[in-house]
Structure 1
């Protein structure tokens, strides 16, 4: 687990930006059915699996900005959607896409045919947009990033760490 102040600040800022992209309230609602966070972990550790188990325990779907440090020192970043249900959790690499200006973001997976969006604060399956619409929507969200990053830095909302359960502590700051 990484607790260096710079890493904590980076991940807290990333969580704020993810919350803004997903149009979540600020400050976050405790124990909401959908939450965002960010973690950094080392290649070979089980932090992401711990977060997945926590999602099942908390009955909460999570959108997590993940930074993994490979044994070579290289950093690999991804956006992971953890979908929890009674029998476990599944992790999907996703990208946010805003299909039309003003519309809510759709999370599209790298697996064909998988998409989700928030409806009433809960994650729901959505129709998979065409590849062209996905690409345009991803670029639309990317164009929003500078404004969202500024907003996230100014907002300074208190986004807590991801709960890992009573004996596991917290993941890196979210």
Structure 2
């Protein structure tokens, strides 16, 4: 007796193709970020889109997984990122505020803030084959906005300029083979 396969190519292929086309056409653009924190720290980890937490590639692994330092050996890293997000807001409807409050003028307002650099550097030294001592220095930046004074009914420009620099000292040890 001939055994039948559940997935027979001639019967399933048109259904799979049709389902793939329908799903592909139903997708929309995603304008998402990882909030205030970055997807990865350092060029290699940014390229992994956050999966670098499980794959130690450089001394910036200490930012997301300090235990990974023991797997990278003795090394030194330095780099920077250019951060240039689009900063704007759009107000629809007039008045835009809750009744009894001042509303914002309808329209789109762009921030005058410029791009900025975010540094990253680190070093790792092996104490023995199962333990290491490292240091990682990395920056975290905000959205750094500058809006004109007429935007919020004030006489001076408004915005935020948030910059942080973190220094992390790490001791890591392997416990199993």
Q: Indicate the TM-score class for this superposition, using the shorter chain for normalisation.
A: under 0.3
TM-score, scaled relative to structure 1: 0.21
Higher RCO, 1 or 2 (CA under 8 Å, sep at least 6)? 1
Query: Relative to total residues, which structure has the larger helix share, 1 or 2?
Result: 1
TM-score, scaled relative to structure 2: 0.20
Which structure would you say has the larger Rg?
Answer: 2
